[in-house]
């Protein structure tokens, strides 16, 4: 099994995870800024949880994957600082409560930390690949959102993800239902995460 087999095996679900009217709105510029801010805050909560989950994956990883996972963690900590800087500049309320949809995703990440390494790496690859592909659909981004779209589709990120994909393909060579299951859960949560932006804070 390869990463591309996971995507082609659940093409519809993958499409839903990587295409959304939210992203179209970012591209066209007609997305409600309040919805964007709500999404951004939830993405920060997710980023905090992902940083910790990646640390658990690193602790579990074979030495050959240390480098790519360390780079991922370094990027996540830099990403957190970037969010916090954005919050200082604008009206972003990073302390807003975690939305139930984000909560479910974060809890799933936590659950993967008890899984074997191959499942963890599959989950990490899937969520990063979904994120990049989704943001690429919003390129170049309406002026108000361009900086964000460029940030989440930058070349260094794409290059790192290619490296992660090599590692994922290595573990998927012996992959089975557990890895496929993780891929599907990630795709579902990614899809729901976009939709969450339209929901109010208290739903």
**Exposure letters 59-89 (e unless 16+ CB within 10 A, then b):** eebeeebeebbeebbebbeebbeebeebbee
Nearer to another protein, 27 or 61 (CB): 61
Nearer to another protein, 16 or 58 (CB): 58
CB of 81 to another protein, least distance (A): 8
Told to check if 82 binds another protein by CB under 8 A, we report: no
Please count the residues of the chain. Answer: 203
Nearer to another protein, 27 or 109 (CB): 109
Q: What is the DSSP letter of 64?
A: G
CB of 131 to another protein, least distance (A): 20
Helices (H) and strands (E) in the chain, counts: 10, 0
**Exposure letters 164-182 (e unless 16+ CB within 10 A, then b):** bbebbbebbeebeeebbeb
Told to check if 74 binds another protein by CB under 8 A, we report: yes
Residues 109-128 that bind another protein (CB under 8 A): 113
Distances (CA, A) of 168 to 44, 82, 161, 178: 25, 27, 10, 14
Q: Could you tell me what percentage of the chain is helix, strand and coil, using 3-state DSSP and rounding each to the nearest 5?
A: 75, 0, 25
Phi-psi region of 22 (alpha: psi -120 to 50; beta: other; left: phi over 0): alpha
Number of residues that bind another protein (CB under 8 A): 18
Told to check if 58 binds another protein by CB under 8 A, we report: yes
CB of 20 to another protein, least distance (A): 29
CB of 51 to another protein, least distance (A): 6
Nearer to another protein, 53 or 118 (CB): 53
Nearer to another protein, 21 or 71 (CB): 71
Told to check if 73 binds another protein by CB under 8 A, we report: yes
Told to check if 70 binds another protein by CB under 8 A, we report: yes
Told to check if 107 binds another protein by CB under 8 A, we report: no
CB of 57 to another protein, least distance (A): 8
Distance (Å, whole) CA 184 – CA 6? 9
* Interface residue list for another protein (CB under 8 A): 48, 51-53, 55-56, 58-59, 63, 66-67, 70, 73-74, 77, 80-81, 113
């Amino acid at each position: 099994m390869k990463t591309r087999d996971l995507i082609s095996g659940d093409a519809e679900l993958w499409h839903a995870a990587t295409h959304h009217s939210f992203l179209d709105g970012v591209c066209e510029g007609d997305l409600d800024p309040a919805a964007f801010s709500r999404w951004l805050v939830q993405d920060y909560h997710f980023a905090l949880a992902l940083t910790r989950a990646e640390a658990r994956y690193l602790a579990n990883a074979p030495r050959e994957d240390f480098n790519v996972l360390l780079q991922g963690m370094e990027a996540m900590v830099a990403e957190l600082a970037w969010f916090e800087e954005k919050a200082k500049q604008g009206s972003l309320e990073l302390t807003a409560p975690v939305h139930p949809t984000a909560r479910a995703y974060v809890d799933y990440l936590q659950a993967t930390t008890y899984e074997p390494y191959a499942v963890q790496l599959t989950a990490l690859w899937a969520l990063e690949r979904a994120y990049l592909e989704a943001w690429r659909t919003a390129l170049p981004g309406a002026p108000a959102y361009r900086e964000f779209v460029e940030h989440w589709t930058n070349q260094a990120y794409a290059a790192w993800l290619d490296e992660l994909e090599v590692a994922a393909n290595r573990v998927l060579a012996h992959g089975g239902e557990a890895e496929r299951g993780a891929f599907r859960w990630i795709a579902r949560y990614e899809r729901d995460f976009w939709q969450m932006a339209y929901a109010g804070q208290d739903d």
